[in-house]
Chains A and B, each alone.
Chain A
Amino acid sequence: MIDFISALIVLIGAAFTLIAGIGLFRLPDVYLRMHAATKAGTLGAGLMLLALALDAQQLEVAARAIAGILFLLFTAPIAAHLLGRAGYLSGSPLWTKTRFDELSDKYDADGRKLTGTPVEDLRRDATKPDDRAT
């Protein structure tokens, strides 16, 4: 029975890995590609480790595998955030069909700090109806 469950998890992980690869190949700009690689890729690798944890049926192996999964889940968003910020500041082009770029003109000339609407204004604006789409 455990074999059966790990086999299913391996298959789901394989599907996510393949989807991540296809996404990396097909998607139009670096931010969308990062979306595929970070989320689907991490899930694919994490599911393989989960299948290993189930299949080994030893506490020490399962503990190490789950530690590995947690490490992946903690580090993937950090790496993606740093890479996305660096890519944006280095001028990686957005997809031509991007509707709006909320970060445009928000970085100061150095690219070190975000200058934008203060938080109080954002809170006040949040009570108004959203008119961005018009």
Chain B
Amino acid sequence: MAEFGAQFLEWSIDIAYVAIMLSFALTVFRLLRGPTLADRVVALDMMALLGIAFIGLFSIATGEAAYLDVAIALALIGFLATVAFARYIYRGALAERRGTDISDAGDDS
């Protein structure tokens, strides 16, 4: 039973690698295709999540728990990047509504 479990875990990890790579390819398509900037940022956010999933799998496969710290740092960076991009889009939208330059959009958001 224990041997079968270990074998099954190896197969599952291989299947999951394939699923993540397929998902990554679809996400890259969305990143290149757009059509709006918000779509591309959603794709970038998804890429960070896929990276976390991949690192988690790699950590299970190698038995090296140190990679977990990389995954947590990637989650933090992905969140901050998404927030920064969202603010950038928002300020651009505000400036466009006023017909001014993006630097005049003010501070509160």
- Residues of A whose CB lies within 8 Å of any CB of B are 1-4, 6-8, 10-11, 13-15, 17-18, 20-22, 24-25, 30, 33-34, 37-38, 41-42, 44-45, 48-49, 51-52, 55-56, 58, 60-61, 64-65, 67-68, 71-72, 75, 78-79, 82-83, 85-87, 89-93, 109-112
Contact across chains for A7 and B42 when beta carbons are under 8 A apart = no
- Closest approach, in angstroms, between the C-beta of B48 and any C-beta of chain A? 9
CB-nearest residue of chain A to B73: A68
Contact across chains for B56 and A110 when beta carbons are under 8 A apart = no
Q: Which of B52, B69, B82 contacts A83 (CB 8 A)?
A: B82
> How far apart sit A115 and B36, CA to CA, in the bound complex (Å)?
26
- Closest approach, in angstroms, between the C-beta of B25 and any C-beta of chain A? 8
Contact across chains for B72 and A71 when beta carbons are under 8 A apart = yes
Give the B interface residue count (CB, 8 A): 63
- Closest approach, in angstroms, between the C-beta of B14 and any C-beta of chain A? 10
Count A-B contacts at CB 8 Å. 203
